[in-house]
Amino acid sequence: MKRNYFIAAIATLVMASCGNTQQKEDYSWIKTSLNRSASQLLLTAHEIDGTGKLPRSIHVGYDMDFLIRQLERDTATFVDSLRKKPAPEMDGKRRLCSVYDWTSGFYPGSLWYAYELTGNKELETEAAKYTNLLNPVRYYKGTHDLGFMINCSYGNARRLAYADTIDAVMVETADNLIGRFNDSISCIRSWDFGTWNFPVIIDNMMNLDLLFTVSKMTGDAKYKEIALKHADKTMANHFRPDYTCWHVVSYNNDGTVERKQTHQGKNDDSSWARGQAWAVYGYTSCYRETGDKKYLDFAVNVADMIMDRVKTEDAIPYWDYDAPVTEETPRDASAAAVTASALIEMSTMVEDGQKYFDYAEKILKSLSSDAYLAKEGDNQGFILMHSTGSLPNGSEIDVPLNYADYYYLEALQRYMKLKGIEYKNL
């Protein structure tokens, strides 16, 4: 056995020696991305200081004829207050949100990631300040998105700048999240609006990481057990034979399916781009936390579907895989960023991981190009351009989104960690 270890060590040294003779890989794109990201985040921090709010997107209007062309319908069917055009003086300006908005945790989380990647202490100061704004969320029970809100903010704060007050916030929030779990249905309820009996959206897979984190923090298995029951029920009912997923599945009180549809995709049978990204990310996380191969196998099948269905040259998907492909069809950089982050993690879990890593790297390089990465001082302080929030509802179409920025930076963090890249050496 010792001889085998010795041989392996020699082989590693030989490979390292050979690598030194090769041309050093150019990572200047990473340095540019991190510098721009830090600049944009700090610009925003200074400009919104004192508002008590957080950056979400940019105010834009919509064109009904464009929506109808994208939806390929005679009329658009959804009626939503978000379709209201912004006041003329707000058009193109930064859109802020309250701490109770489902996206509130992403900006503090982006600050934490940028601090981790660059070591810039000003980013740490701002990250702590904007994370603390979310303290009241610990008492909030009105959403399933508590994982997004608290795990992305306080969760990263706990990892990078631990304070003994953080744990209580995360535990209280996790308690509120599992309070939305229904034993008969075996799922965490998503929305409290609409005509659904018990709606569950694929996005909810992303909120399970809070439960995994708190289960490890407290040693209490109940959080993890509820997360996995939710994941299993979602796996059973949210997916088609080709591993694309519905956006919304609503359940009857006995746990049977009431209906399957979309709220943000092209139609009920289409494949909404960000929904597919939520899916591959969520089941990759489930495997990380359990080691149960059924989750990894499922995540791999979803990843393979994504890589097959996304036909764009730069690997940044259109807002829905089934959207008509025209010059006006918007992309969704947020879906791409989530996918890249998930596939980088997945690449470390499977034997043929290189193909997933290479695909994620392609996405990251595309997002880091001038086609998607905003110039310093532009884009109302956001990092990435060209995301789509909810096209059928006329909301946040071809704009920056705070969660696109968050998962982009998370993907960069995972990429750099895996490659052994440090900012100071770039």
Domain ranges of the chain: 29-425
**Segment 291-324, tens digit of pLDDT:** 999 999 999 999 999 999 999 999 999 999 999 9
Query: Which pLDDT score is estimated for 12?
Result: 41
Are the beta carbons of 344 and 421 closer than 8 angstroms? no
Query: Which pLDDT score is estimated for 402?
Result: 98
Query: Which pLDDT score is estimated for 6?
Result: 35
- List C-alpha distances in Å: 299 to 122, 280, 302, 330, 361: 37, 5, 5, 26, 18
- List C-alpha distances in Å: 249 to 59, 103, 155, 263: 30, 22, 29, 11
Question: How many percent of the chain have pLDDT more than 90?
Answer: 87
Catalytic, out of 26, 80, 203, 269: 203
d(CA 78, CA 395): 11
Establish whether 192 is a catalytic residue. Answer: no
**Residue with tokens 């005509």, as numbered in its chain:** 195
b/e 26-65 (16+ beta carbons within 10 angstroms → b)? ebeebeebbebbbbbbbbbbeebeeeebbbbbbbbebeee
Query: Which pLDDT score is estimated for 85?
Result: 77
| Topology annotation, domain 29-425 | Glycosyltransferase (1.50.10)
Query: Which pLDDT score is estimated for 355?
Result: 98
Average pLDDT over every residue of 254-276: 97
pTM, two decimals, is 0.94
Q: CB-hemisphere CA count at 13 Å for 364?
A: 30
Q: Is residue 16's pLDDT more than 80?
A: no
Query: Which pLDDT score is estimated for 277?
Result: 98
Establish whether 63 is a catalytic residue. Answer: no
Would you place residue 23 in the very low, low, confident or very high pLDDT band (cuts 50, 70, 90)? low
d(CA 384, CA 405): 6
Query: Which pLDDT score is estimated for 75?
Result: 64
Q: Is residue 176's pLDDT more than 70?
A: yes
Amino acid at the residue 44: T
Mean pLDDT of the chain: 93
Query: Which pLDDT score is estimated for 77?
Result: 56
Query: Which pLDDT score is estimated for 126?
Result: 98
Q: What is the DSSP letter of 296?
A: H
Q: Is residue 55's pLDDT more than 70?
A: yes
Query: Which pLDDT score is estimated for 73?
Result: 80
**Residue with tokens 């304070």, as numbered in its chain:** 163
**Segment 213-225, tens digit of pLDDT:** 999 999 999 999 9
Are the beta carbons of 35 and 362 closer than 8 angstroms? no
Would you place residue 3 in the very low, low, confident or very high pLDDT band (cuts 50, 70, 90)? very low
> What tokens does 57 get?
């997107």
**Segment 85-134, tens digit of pLDDT:** 788 889 999 999 999 999 999 999 999 999 999 999 999 999 999 999 99
Query: Which pLDDT score is estimated for 426?
Result: 95
The helix (H) or strand (E) run that includes residue 299 is helix 293-309
> What tokens does 258 get?
């009431």
Average pLDDT over every residue of 22-45: 93
d(CA 267, CA 348): 35
d(CA 201, CA 347): 26
Q: CB-hemisphere CA count at 13 Å for 160?
A: 27
Torsion of CA 260, 265, 267, 269, to 10 degrees: -50
> What tokens does 270 get?
């289409």
Question: What backbone torsions phi and psi does residue 183 show, to the nearest 5 degrees?
Answer: -60, -40
- String of DSSP letters for 253-283: TTS-EEEEE-SSSSSTTS-BHHHHHHHHHHH
Q: CB-hemisphere CA count at 13 Å for 95?
A: 21
**Segment 340-397, tens digit of pLDDT:** 999 999 999 999 999 999 999 999 999 999 999 999 999 999 999 999 999 998 899 9
Catalytic, out of 101, 145, 320, 398: 145
Give the rounded distance of the alpha carbon of 28 from its chain centre.
25
Would you place residue 273 in the very low, low, confident or very high pLDDT band (cuts 50, 70, 90)? very high
Query: Which pLDDT score is estimated for 15?
Result: 42
Are the beta carbons of 316 and 332 closer than 8 angstroms? yes
Q: Is residue 18's pLDDT more than 80?
A: no
Are the beta carbons of 98 and 104 closer than 8 angstroms? yes
Residue 301 makes CB contacts below 8 A (sequence gap 6+) with 243
How many residues in total does the chain contain?
Answer: 426
d(CA 202, CA 222): 22
